[in-house]
Structure 1
Amino acid sequence: MDVDLKNNMNGIRLGEQIRELDSLGFIIFTTTHLEMSYLAFKYKVEAMDYVIKEDYDFKQRIESCLLKAYNTYYKGNHKEGYISIKEDTRIINIKLCDILFIETTGVAHRIRVHEENRQFEFYGNLKDIQKKLTSNFYRCHKSYIVNKDKIEEIDIKNNKIIMVNGEECYVSFRYKGGLLS
């Protein structure tokens, strides 16, 4: 954001208002007015950087900031989370990023978790498990929840999802639209 917006409000004040709405947003100021940099501190904007337009490395600094912001945002949204499952006399901690999909079994209230190299079962229901999962998991069928990050291919004609390890699960007509969007 430029400090001089050629308006009755400067970029620093606008940054202050943005900060009130988004405490975690990334703000990079660009300007030819080095003397105004102290205002970013005065108004507690917490800018990521204050880049002078005439600097020889202007483009490189902006790119560096954008890359850092992207990586910070991406990692924040894909934290290595866990869910804990109680099974008889043990508690199983499952790393969310290891799950390919979760399905119901033929036995009432029995759930099977598929990871790339293992599967295990426990008593529970998909509705309760779904509440513990992050946004990259999608209920694609009444019997399946799939990790969208682990999908290799979607066979639209046959209503199948092929995972990165070759395993398949189904997607119902009802949920297919949400998965494809």
Structure 2
Amino acid sequence: MAIKVYIAEDHLEQRNQIVQSIKNYRLFSDWELEIASVAASGEELLASIDRENQWNIYFLDINLAAEAEISNGFVVAQEIRNFDPFGFIVFITVRSELSFLTFQYRVQALDFIIKDPAVNIQERVHTCLKTVEQRLSVLDTSQTIKLNTGNEITSFIIEDILYIASNKGHILSLHTKQKEYQIYQETLNHLEEQLEERFIRCHRGFLINTKAIRHISRDFSNLILEDGTTVPVSVRKRSALKTLQSKYVSIRS
């Protein structure tokens, strides 16, 4: 799956410099990297983002064109966080002191690139991309699972999955903290084997993340997940659930 890069920079020369830096990085990297959109304004960039894709990288100028509807890069980043909580955001600015505003806007920036003649922009872009590559490599080996979502193979952070349910037609329904996905060419039995350390098969039709459990009924016939979903517990699975009882928030009658 390609990692998509989005760029919002209103200054043409600097925009081209960032694009070329990314292209140069691809020449010596085995990483699949796609420049998905290059925009001059915040609204143009937001309209172009593929919101189904995960692990996007965003290079955002903090001060976009004043006449643009969205001229504040922090506001763009804030909107991005609404649908891409794990994307990598890199701010581009002439004022390094603005970095503290990432805490105010709560956007968790990966890095800042300062617009300064003394700064090698290409080197800074390459450093950011290398950091993302290293982080994703760690996630791929220990904290994620790759599944077929129909049009592509999608990586999911395991802890972000609340539960997986079986549907008609041999299609699974995977629910994360953000949205629901259809999973193809997979079975609950196989996923139960892969996720056995963190998930429990509480019912033939449900595989749930044990960390997502918030309440268990007193008779252990059902449980409630952190998003409010009520999941049934089969009779033969209730004894296994009882052994995990002490880890959960409460038991309801």
Aligned match of 1:128: 190
Post-superposition Cα deviations, 1:129-158, rounded to whole Å, max 9, x if no partner, equal: 112215121111111111111100011437
In the alignment, the residues of structure 2 paired with residue 80 and residue 153 of structure 1 have an alpha-carbon distance, to the nearest angstrom, of 28
How far did 1:93 drift?
0.6
Contact kept? 1:102, 1:144, Cα under 8 Å: yes
Post-superposition Cα deviations, 1:10-42, rounded to whole Å, max 9, x if no partner, equal: xxxxxxxxxxxxxxxxxxxxxxxxxxxxxxxxx
More displaced 10-residue stretch of structure 1: 116-125 or 169-178 = 116-125
Aligned match of 1:117: 178
1:126 corresponds to which letter in structure 2?
Answer: L
Q: Does 1:162 align with 2:224?
A: yes
Contact kept? 1:110, 1:122, Cα under 8 Å: yes
In the alignment, the residues of structure 2 paired with residue 99 and residue 121 of structure 1 have an alpha-carbon distance, to the nearest angstrom, of 13
For structure 1, list consecutive stretches of 5 or more residues without a partner in the other structure: 1-78
**Among candidates 62, 71, 88, match of residue 150 of structure 2:** 88
Contact kept? 1:80, 1:96, Cα under 8 Å: no
In the alignment, the residues of structure 2 paired with residue 125 and residue 156 of structure 1 have an alpha-carbon distance, to the nearest angstrom, of 30
CA RMSD of aligned residues (A): 1.8
In the alignment, the residues of structure 2 paired with residue 135 and residue 158 of structure 1 have an alpha-carbon distance, to the nearest angstrom, of 21
2:178 corresponds to which letter in structure 1?
Answer: N
The TM-score with structure 1 as length reference comes to: 0.52
1:102 and 1:156, CA in 2 relative to 1: closer, same or farther beyond 3 A?
farther
Aligned match of 1:41: none
Contact kept? 2:149, 2:181, Cα under 8 Å: no
Give runs of aligned pairs for residues 51-130 of structure 1, distance below 5 A.
81-105=143-167, 107-123=168-184, 124-130=186-192
Post-superposition Cα deviations, 1:91-131, rounded to whole Å, max 9, x if no partner, equal: 111111001111101x1211011112211112221011112
Give runs of aligned pairs for residues 136-155 of structure 1, distance below 5 A.
136-155=198-217
2:197 corresponds to which letter in structure 1?
Answer: S
Contact kept? 2:172, 2:183, Cα under 8 Å: yes
Give the % identical residues. Answer: 24
In the alignment, the residues of structure 2 paired with residue 151 and residue 158 of structure 1 have an alpha-carbon distance, to the nearest angstrom, of 12
Secondary structure of the residue aligned to 2:197 is: coil
In the alignment, the residues of structure 1 paired with residue 150 and residue 225 of structure 2 have an alpha-carbon distance, to the nearest angstrom, of 30
Q: Does 1:173 align with 2:235?
A: yes
In the alignment, the residues of structure 2 paired with residue 156 and residue 138 of structure 1 have an alpha-carbon distance, to the nearest angstrom, of 18
2:242 corresponds to which letter in structure 1?
Answer: L
1:100 and 1:87, CA in 2 relative to 1: closer, same or farther beyond 3 A?
closer
The TM-score with structure 2 as length reference comes to: 0.38
For structure 2, list consecutive stretches of 5 or more residues without a partner in the other structure: 1-140, 244-253
